[in-house]
Amino acid sequence: MPADSFVTQLNEQIGHEFAAHQQYVAIAVHYDAETLPQLARFFYRQALEERDHAMMMIQYLVDADAEVVVPGVTAPQTTFADIVAPVALALDQEKRVSEQINGLAATARDAGDFTSEQFTQWFIKEQVEEVATMSDLLRVVERSKDDPMDIENFMAREHAAAAAADPTAPHPAGAG
Ligand SMILES: [Fe+2]
Ligand SMILES: [Fe+2]
């Protein structure tokens, strides 16, 4: 059994991941409405990744016979001042999640729950990548904010395809 403190905190994290999913859908819809399809596609894809994170955490709890609390989430931000604002919001969100995941690892370690601590390791690595991707994107949109087609070309070039499946990733509940 995972430590109670870890189960409680992981259930909260499931809520944060679903909230991130909703936020990225909202950002994608915003860019779609602005006819920026490459940015939209990137955020639709990011949204799916966040859902997968939540479902990986759910699978972990199910496998461990621990209680899963499927959360409600607060509504995402849906209006944005300019082309940069959604990416800035996304970067803040990823940085916050990195802290939350580190907190999960710390809770598992404090409780002597090494199985759960190991479970958090993949997410720690994932957050390093997500923060790096969003920081890069923020630099690009800030530099080219007056020329959205530059940003669209960058997205088409650098983020055309979904990342290859990561064989080390935890299994999302209900997937295949
Ligand atoms: Fe996530
Ligand atoms: Fe993320």
For every residue of the chain, which 3-state class applies, written as one string?
CCCHHHHHHHHHHHHHHHHHHHHHHHHHHHHHHCCCHHHHHHHHHHHHHHHHHHHHHHHHHHHCCCCCCCCCCCCCCCCCCCCCHHHHHHHHHHHHHHHHHHHHHHHHHHCCCHHHHHHHHHHHHHHHHHHHHHHHHHHHHHHCCCCHHHHHHHHHHHCCCCCCCCCCCCCCCCCC
Mean pLDDT of the chain: 96
Report pLDDT digits (tens) over 133-158. Answer: 999 999 999 999 999 999 999 999 99
pLDDT tens for the chain, 176 residues: list them.
899 999 999 999 999 999 999 999 999 999 999 999 999 999 999 999 999 999 999 999 999 999 999 989 999 999 999 999 999 999 999 999 999 999 999 999 999 999 999 999 999 999 999 999 999 999 999 999 999 999 999 999 999 887 788 889 999 999 97
> If you measure from the C-alpha of residue 163 to the centroid of ligand 2, how many angstroms do you get, rounded to a whole number?
14
User: Which residues are near ligand 2, the ion (C-beta closer than 5 Å)?
Assistant: 130
On whether the pTM is more than 0.75, the answer is yes
pLDDT at 14 (0 to 100): 98
> If you measure from the C-alpha of residue 49 to the centroid of ligand 1, how many angstroms do you get, rounded to a whole number?
7
pLDDT at 53 (0 to 100): 98
Using a pLDDT cut of 70, give the percent of the chain over it. Answer: 100
> If you measure from the C-alpha of residue 68 to the centroid of ligand 1, how many angstroms do you get, rounded to a whole number?
17
Using a pLDDT cut of 90, give the percent of the chain over it. Answer: 94
> If you measure from the C-alpha of residue 93 to the centroid of ligand 2, how many angstroms do you get, rounded to a whole number?
8
Ligand (nearest to CA of 17): 1
